[in-house]
Structure 1
């Protein structure tokens, strides 16, 4: 009480003024001999808060005072700029409507400069923008309607499938079409050619222009995105004949035969292509690889992991299909090196294949005709691998590798050592034809960047090399979205029933 008296400025004989001020109506009335008035719940809450904080630091039993509430609007403008610059642009559009202060601060160009850099990769300096009389805020506003077009797309057709990579290129949005090459090794970079461009420097609304062809000048092209499909419609088609002639000169008649039908359409539709997510238990890093399948040039495939299985899905070319790798069925190599005798290798593959077919038939009977058997269930990539782990694959000692006698290949420049081999099955469906096939064989893991597959029946070897190009805006929003994309690739174009292998 003495300490409290010193703080309150009164002696102990008169009592604590703080205590008197903290007395509620009930205590005051009792001291005066009057009945205490009833308190509303809100008044009781206020009185309790006052009583808890009035004697803070006085040595009494009361709890310390609550810190004063601080609003985001009370922060200095410099700090608000730093905070708002780290938020996605979609959130900033909503914050601009909260209050006048946020609306004013969000006109700071450094905020939109960071958003343009982080979301779209734009690294133009402010001086270049000032020269053309634009701000980063205006650039972001021009990009915003086209944000869903950025990323990788697969041509949705029953003929030859290609890739379209839509990126922000300086102050333009450019669509680059992948063109397969006949003479490029699997370790070479992908070759892209410009398809369309959207200039963001125009003061009026941005318009797309077609860049295909070498004779006709750039002309208007309509770009539309709806329900995960990107549509490109060209107002002029004469330049496509010129494009076919150029393909004949650069890539030969064989490749043009596969691609010529694609340029007969005025409207091209593409489907979204996500890259597979990565998990610690994956044998190697998943992603895009290119392989030398046939005379039509290199084709792009996608490696992904699904629990007990890995899949190599074809994303370009004139066929659809999937190489399914059974990670639980590893093939042991005799004498610490790969098979020299093709007959011995074929015998091992046939024995495993018969066992897989028998187990699949048994499971189908147990499931009463369920379409998805154990070998073809689409498991979530988030599910850990049951077989070898990524650490085990990296620590595996390489063994000498040479193709068995009698196995053909278009690429003799393959790695001379390998780490692991697994039983695998390649399923092929030629688009536009009623052909489908199932080819068991051996999947070969050479290293982090090279894969291989030997078709046991066809006696043919395919080498895959990792695509070294980097891509932006290719992350799937969820594991389920990635699985749905894989099913979409296997189903073929809309309106066509998929061929079940």
Structure 2
């Protein structure tokens, strides 16, 4: 028997309703073959037909008749709904199947749904009608060709690194550059300004327009996309880095010194957000803090088993904070923060043990890296995520003589860990290593005390949402993170 090629309503009490179904009685079949067949009683024929059509309805099951149907027999409305649920990359091949499918795939509602579901394009029918552009053209000439440009990027060609967020903005693709804010609290949303946009013109071709420059804007700009690399080049010469050198005097007042440079070509590298796991202390992601004289900087919190890492992704300095989750500091109802000397003593003891362990690992006396010191009373790393939410908050005050730019910090905290900050100063080959105290306040705030400088930094979670920022694999994220630290300024 041949298999049925369409979705038919079979097995019901009414039998198959396929319009193409035609049955021939045995007598008619025999006559067509030129052979004589004994006539069967009419009631036997009716009983046989009823048994075949009522299979599965409680009677004696009999084989169903062969159905000859195809996908082309479905109503156009049903085909439109089916095609609209398929990925847009599969539709061109489907259009080659037959003329009917080719005409149906010109239905704009199909492509409007693909633009919305795959790229988040907003409904803007008025602009489409004014330009005489269809959603099929928006998908084929704009969104699909430039899909690799969407996401977060880190500037790679200047001393002061910043971020570029490329998103689908209505029926355009817009690149927004992060703009640091002076004297702003860490809970303030990130500020962006438009750098470029890609849109369809009246000629129905995509064009890249530069939104920067003081003399003529917008104007033409060239975009070159490679794997995890984006280059923007402009033929105008009035571009200025909007990053003046901002300095603070000893009383905290802001002094601004103009130090702008012209540029016409910028290179970016893709930035992925860290993956999240149930055992993480808090949800990883981007956080902002006041670190230098340029205003708010952006850092990334990520978890790596027994360690957490805070990596700076904007600014002109590259410190890296590594948090040892196995080295938890007892808060003692907040009493540990009342004496800076006592806090330093506890951290120094842990730091000495950590250095001894590292030396043993280098000498080959330890079995493997990561089996470090841990107090028997401390929870394992896997329990830290759940323990952080269940831990009762204790009062937090800055120790005496510890300074901070952010005085509006949380007054209670949940956990405290030993950490190490490493960075390399300009002109020095060897990195510096300084112990720090990592303080977890809540799901959206953490901080650390730089013991050497007696300074406190508060981090607040970035509230902005980003799309197309998931790493294709864990290895790809680790390679990106390593690349951030290895790139010279």
TM bracket (short chain): 0.7 to 0.9
Q: For structure 1, which segment, 463-472 or 232-241, has the greater mean C-alpha deviation from structure 2 after superposition?
A: 232-241
8 A Cα contact 1:453 1:463, kept in partner: yes
Q: 1:204 to 1:353 in 2, by over 3 A?
A: same
1:78-157 → structure 2 map (5 Å cutoff): 78-141=77-140, 142-157=142-157
Q: What SS does the aligned partner of 2:423 have?
A: strand
Offset at 1:297? 1.4
Aligned equivalent of 1:379: none
8 A Cα contact 1:255 1:297, kept in partner: no
8 A Cα contact 1:363 1:374, kept in partner: no
Distance in 1 of aligned mates of 2:219 and 2:396:
53
Q: 1:232 to 1:388 in 2, by over 3 A?
A: same
Distance in 1 of aligned mates of 2:487 and 2:443:
30
8 A Cα contact 1:440 1:456, kept in partner: yes
Offset at 1:82? 2.2
Offset at 1:222? 0.8
Q: For structure 1, which segment, 271-280 or 212-221, has the greater mean C-alpha deviation from structure 2 after superposition?
A: 212-221
Distance in 1 of aligned mates of 2:324 and 2:336:
19
Matched, 1:491 2:486: yes
Matched, 1:315 2:290: no
Aligned equivalent of 1:300: 298
Match of 1:345 among 343, 346, 358: 343
8 A Cα contact 1:161 1:318, kept in partner: yes
Distance in 1 of aligned mates of 2:187 and 2:407:
13
Distance in 1 of aligned mates of 2:98 and 2:243:
57
Aligned equivalent of 1:283: 281
8 A Cα contact 1:323 1:425, kept in partner: yes
8 A Cα contact 2:418 2:438, kept in partner: yes
Offset at 1:366? 2.2
Q: 1:321 to 1:244 in 2, by over 3 A?
A: closer
8 A Cα contact 2:245 2:294, kept in partner: no
Q: Tell me how many residue pairs correspond in the alignment.
A: 428
Q: Deviations over 1:457-489 (max 9, x none)?
A: 221110000111111111112222212211121
Aligned equivalent of 1:478: 473
Match of 2:330 among 329, 332, 336: 332
1:157-176 → structure 2 map (5 Å cutoff): 157=157, 159-176=159-176
Offset at 1:66? 8.9
Q: 1:317 to 1:247 in 2, by over 3 A?
A: closer
Aligned equivalent of 2:447: 452
Distance in 1 of aligned mates of 2:100 and 2:365:
63
8 A Cα contact 2:215 2:238, kept in partner: no
Q: What SS does the aligned partner of 1:363 have?
A: helix
TM-score (norm 1): 0.77
Q: Deviations over 1:320-368 (max 9, x none)?
A: 2321111121111124544211111111111111111211222223299
Matched, 1:465 2:463: no
Distance in 1 of aligned mates of 2:257 and 2:99:
60
Match of 1:267 among 265, 268, 282: 265
8 A Cα contact 2:132 2:202, kept in partner: no
Distance in 1 of aligned mates of 2:264 and 2:331:
53
Offset at 1:403? 0.6
Q: Deviations over 1:5-35 (max 9, x none)?
A: xxxxxxxxxxxx99xx9xxxxxxxxxxxxxx
Q: 1:253 to 1:167 in 2, by over 3 A?
A: farther
Q: For structure 1, which segment, 68-77 or 314-323, has the greater mean C-alpha deviation from structure 2 after superposition?
A: 68-77
Q: For structure 1, which segment, 125-134 or 290-299, has the greater mean C-alpha deviation from structure 2 after superposition?
A: 125-134
Aligned equivalent of 1:227: 227
Distance in 1 of aligned mates of 2:65 and 2:353:
71
Distance in 2 of aligned mates of 1:214 and 1:60:
84
TM-score (norm 2): 0.78
Q: 1:168 to 1:432 in 2, by over 3 A?
A: farther
Q: Deviations over 1:417-439 (max 9, x none)?
A: 00111111112235686573222
Distance in 1 of aligned mates of 2:98 and 2:363:
65
Q: 1:64 to 1:466 in 2, by over 3 A?
A: same
Offset at 1:375? 8.8
Q: What SS does the aligned partner of 1:238 have?
A: coil
8 A Cα contact 1:349 1:456, kept in partner: no
CA RMSD of aligned residues (A): 3.4
Please, which runs of 5 or more residues in structure 2 have no aligned partner?
1-24, 30-51, 248-252, 373-379
